Amino acid sequence: MEELVEYFKEKYSDTDIRAVRSPLRICPLGAHSDHQGGRVTGMTLNASVDMVYSPTEDGYVRVESMDFPDKELFHINHESEYIPGFWGNYIRGAVMSLQQDYVLKKGLNAIVSGKLPIGGLSSSAAVTTAYLMALCDVNDIEVSKLDLIQYSHWVETKFIGLKNGILDQSANILSMDNQLMVMDCKTNKYDMVQKGKEMPEFEVVVVYSGISKDLISTDFNNRVDEIRVAGWLLQDLGNLDRTSLQGVQLRDIPVEVYEEYKEELPERFRKRAAHFFTEQARVQEGEKVWAEGDIETFGRLMFESGESSFYQYESGIPEMKSIYYILRECKGVYGARPSGAGYRGAVIGLIDPAYKEEIKAKIDEIYPVRHPEYKDSYAVNFCKTADGANIVKDLVVD
């Protein structure tokens, strides 16, 4: 953050300098179920998207990224369009999201930077939260955390065009250090579950595959449609009230109906439904063992979630599978699963810190040989958990 402040001071003569820290997130359990109204888990890391900013009286938004080329410049009263693949879409969407309910009078001068390779840890949700919090701050707008989640979700679904749920935003905004966030995506109710007293020290390994791409260019939206079709078919088989395809959520299908009719589903849709219902069971058990401090069982559930994501939801790519199976064989890894929806980004795991060097050495030995095209771009990082997004109160600017 200090380097970002110094760079900001070189660029602008502003004296009212502020900052927001918006952490990257992991989802240990509950993958691919938020858009189905399911229950999900999340926690944030001490790796974050950081932004230094100041208010502008002229209403212009000027944003520079330390991680991407080009600069973003527009006036808050100008309706900005979505540009495929452009990092500036998120600040554009943030402005439009807030303008649904508020009149924005002040813009931003801002410089933003991330600490880990982009992809797989929901940097998009993190940066959107940073923009929203900064815009609210300079315009003296007070919003609740749940409202902030909804504004951020609007950006990704309505402006960007993803068919995702609220997992990423919820984890990013609500998480607290050493606690497991458990969010009910149907009711928006959540619990913060303190880790059990007997839980040993752990860290999070983040193995970046070297692959970064927009989810909108993957099969992500197709998988969402397939799981909706599975729900539609179960509605028919179980003589339930029929909804539109866009309105289907497996969370509304009783488990008893699924168990009775699952074998009648075509294979593709049977797999998608199987992932959802087994993942929901893993979330329920995971919440219990986390509170008990049983990291071994929690880790086993993460491994099971990874298998289900690859072979039931079928969202994996070869590079992600390679990392996952390397981690499965590493001593000191409690559990691991793909992040980034399985199409790009990273594989995450909970590990015993005593084995960090061995884990990294094993990955360095195998992954670049198996996937030489990514030998210069993959990365192994170790993180700890942290609090959710916040305005930095003790910013040093002198």
Residues 236 and 161 in one domain: no
| Residue ranges for the chain with pLDDT beneath 70 | 115-121, 213-218, 340-344, 398
Residues 187 and 277 in one domain: no
Record the tokens describing residue 48, joined without a space. Answer: 């974050």
Residues 248 and 102 in one domain: no
Q: What is the pLDDT of residue 80?
A: 84
85 belongs to a structural domain: yes
Q: What is the pLDDT of residue 344?
A: 67
Query: SS3 sequence, 53-110?
Result: EEEECCCEEEEEECCCCCEEEEECCCCCCCCCCCCCHHHHHHHHHHHCCCCCCCEEEE
371 belongs to a structural domain: yes
Residues 129 and 226 in one domain: no
The C-alpha atoms of residue 65 and residue 233 are separated, in whole angstroms, by: 46
Residues 215 and 68 in one domain: no
The C-alpha atoms of residue 289 and residue 286 are separated, in whole angstroms, by: 5
Q: What is the pLDDT of residue 153?
A: 93
Per the structure, the complete domain to which residue 324 belongs is given by 203-386
Largest CA distance in the chain: 68
168 is catalytic: yes
326 belongs to a structural domain: yes
Number of structural domains (the chain) is 2
Residues 35 and 152 in one domain: yes
Residues 34 and 182 in one domain: yes
Q: What is the pLDDT of residue 68?
A: 82
**What pTM value is reported for the model?**
0.88
pLDDT tens profile 293-304: 999 999 999 999
The C-alpha atoms of residue 307 and residue 199 are separated, in whole angstroms, by: 25
Residues 253 and 166 in one domain: no
Distance between alpha carbon 345 and the CA centroid of its chain, in Å?
A: 11
Are 215 and 199 in contact, with CB atoms under 8 Å apart? no
Go through 129-166 and write b for each residue having 16 or more CB atoms within 10 A of its CB, e for each that does not. bbbbbbbbbbbebebeeeebbebbbbbbbebbebbbbb
What CATH number did the domain enclosing 182 receive? 3.30.230.10
398 belongs to a structural domain: no
Own/partner contacts of 248-256, CB < 8 Å, gap of 24 or more, are 249/36, 249/37, 249/186, 250/33, 250/36, 250/37, 250/38, 250/276, 250/277, 251/33, 251/36, 251/37, 251/38, 251/185, 251/186, 252/37
The C-alpha atoms of residue 253 and residue 247 are separated, in whole angstroms, by: 12
87 belongs to a structural domain: yes
396 belongs to a structural domain: no
Residues 117 and 230 in one domain: no
Catalytic site residue from 168, 214, 225, 398: 168
pLDDT tens profile 95-139: 999 999 999 999 999 999 986 555 566 788 899 999 999 999 999
The C-alpha atoms of residue 329 and residue 342 are separated, in whole angstroms, by: 20
Residues 174 and 220 in one domain: no
Are 229 and 253 in contact, with CB atoms under 8 Å apart? no
Residues 218 and 100 in one domain: no
The C-alpha atoms of residue 291 and residue 199 are separated, in whole angstroms, by: 9
Distance between alpha carbon 65 and the CA centroid of its chain, in Å?
A: 20
95 belongs to a structural domain: yes
The dihedral region occupied by 129, where left means phi > 0, alpha psi between -120 and 50, and beta the remainder, is alpha
**Bridge partners of residue 39, in order along the sequence:** 184
Nearest to 205 by CA among 375, 26, 50: 26
Q: What is the pLDDT of residue 281?
A: 97
Record the tokens describing residue 141, joined without a space. Answer: 């707008």
* Residues found in the chain: 398
**Bridge partners of residue 73, in order along the sequence:** 62
The crossing angle, in degrees rounded to 10, of helices 89-99 and 123-138 is 50
Q: What is the pLDDT of residue 13?
A: 84
198 belongs to a structural domain: no
The C-alpha atoms of residue 306 and residue 312 are separated, in whole angstroms, by: 10
What CATH number did the domain enclosing 278 receive? 3.30.70.890
Residues 79 and 112 in one domain: yes
